[in-house]
Structure 1
């Protein structure tokens, strides 16, 4: 496995106070199996597998008051340099770069609007082993009320170039890294709570968005935005039983 290119989302994981519930909910929703880390210091960190390939993770929250959240990790060659760039661009270093055993080096940041994200400098672990297939991460999107500020910030941090695409009443943005669009940006949806801060949304592909949304509700989750068609496919926004936001998409 060669991993993904620097500047590209490479991993997503869930911070949750109830790992046991997460290990039950997501496998029933996505067909995942869980592999729990043997290191006591990992706090039961679980790598979720789809057909034997790593697709996402889940672990305990960094602080007792942290809300349940899915985090997007962007691949980097140098986590320490990324931290320097984040601070220079007006963001915050929430967790300074540190080594995760022999797996990689990571850090946690917040952009000026408060959206948190992480970087991953790979060592033994390069990131997800499956993308854009049912049960795997398919898209990462910044939901922010300050798109102009985000354009400046992420270009300084990752060298991303924003490309606006008007879609009806709202303007969506694609982040270009080299030859590829690697992530997106959109204003907050009207259906979401007005006081929700900026955040990075993690999307997982499913074979049938309507069926998966209904299944999530059966398992104790909440449908925040019902299934609807978008240019990228059919989308729904969900909360898991502990309150973590994520989205599902049937790819065209």
Structure 2
């Protein structure tokens, strides 16, 4: 498998106070199975779909904030250079670049508007072994109260080009990489309570959106939006019982015309 290009979303993980509860939830909703916890790396545990690595979960460490959230990682061929770009563009490096054995190197950072994300320089672990099919990562969107800062920051750090939705009622943009849309950016409206921080919403593909929502709510998850039809698929926004936000989408069930987008210079 070739290493992902710079800027490509390549991995996702989340910390949970109740690791076994998280495994039970996502196993039931997305059909994941889990490998052995690696004590050398803080009981980091990979999740698998059809035997392919699709994400990871790990336990909350003493002193860490008691808030679960999915972290999306972007690929970098030179993590030290990416760290420099983050700092030079008013971002903040929260976890300095660090080597993770033979697997690669990681960093955690925050954009000027407070959106937390990760950076991964692949070694033996190149990222998602499966994507865009049921049980795996499919898409992600930056939800921010500082859209102008996000629009300037992410294309300065990664080689993104930007397109905006031709709809004055919705402030939404797409970040493209090599002619492919890889990330969305949505302005957070007053519909979001002020205590909800900006975040990247990770979408997992499912074969049936409504069935996935039913499984999630039966297991203590919370439905925030949807299910809703769209030209991209039928989707819903949820949070798991420990508060980590995520979305599910059935890309095989599409309705409506694709929206018009304009490339920005």
Query: Normalised by the shorter chain, which TM-score bucket?
Result: over 0.9
Residue 145 of structure 1, CA deviation: 1.6
Residue 190 of structure 1, CA deviation: 5.5
Are residues 79 and 44 of structure 1, via their aligned partners in 2, closer, same or farther at CA, if it must alter by over 3 Å? Answer: same
- Match of 1:47? 46
Between 1:201-210 and 1:158-167, the stretch displaced more is 158-167
For residues 231 and 45 of structure 1, the distance between their equivalents in structure 2, rounded to whole angstroms, comes to 36
Between 1:65-74 and 1:162-171, the stretch displaced more is 162-171
For residues 60 and 173 of structure 2, the distance between their equivalents in structure 1, rounded to whole angstroms, comes to 30
State whether residues 192 and 224 of structure 1, in contact with CA within 8 Å, keep that contact through their aligned partners in structure 2: no
Matched, 1:237 2:231: no
Matched, 1:74 2:74: yes
Equivalent runs, 1:49-68 vs 2, <5 Å: 49-61=48-60, 63-68=63-68
Matched, 1:208 2:197: no
For residues 124 and 47 of structure 1, the distance between their equivalents in structure 2, rounded to whole angstroms, comes to 15
For residues 248 and 166 of structure 1, the distance between their equivalents in structure 2, rounded to whole angstroms, comes to 25
Equivalent runs, 1:80-91 vs 2, <5 Å: 80-91=80-91
Residue 171 of structure 1, CA deviation: 2.9
For residues 84 and 3 of structure 2, the distance between their equivalents in structure 1, rounded to whole angstroms, comes to 24
- Match of 1:120? 120
Equivalent runs, 1:152-191 vs 2, <5 Å: 152-167=152-167, 169-188=169-188, 191=191
TM-score scaled by structure 1?
A: 0.95
Q: Is the partner of 1:170 in helix, strand or coil?
A: coil
State whether residues 145 and 189 of structure 2, in contact with CA within 8 Å, keep that contact through their aligned partners in structure 1: no
State whether residues 191 and 224 of structure 1, in contact with CA within 8 Å, keep that contact through their aligned partners in structure 2: no
TM-score scaled by structure 2?
A: 0.90
Equivalent runs, 1:104-119 vs 2, <5 Å: 104-119=104-119
For residues 15 and 41 of structure 1, the distance between their equivalents in structure 2, rounded to whole angstroms, comes to 16
Matched, 1:16 2:25: no
Q: Any stretches of 5+ residues in structure 1 without a counterpart?
A: none
Residue 61 of structure 1, CA deviation: 3.5
Residue 245 of structure 1, CA deviation: 0.5
For residues 22 and 190 of structure 1, the distance between their equivalents in structure 2, rounded to whole angstroms, comes to 30
Are residues 60 and 191 of structure 1, via their aligned partners in 2, closer, same or farther at CA, if it must alter by over 3 Å? Answer: same
C-alpha RMSD of matched pairs (Å): 1.5
Are residues 231 and 188 of structure 1, via their aligned partners in 2, closer, same or farther at CA, if it must alter by over 3 Å? Answer: farther
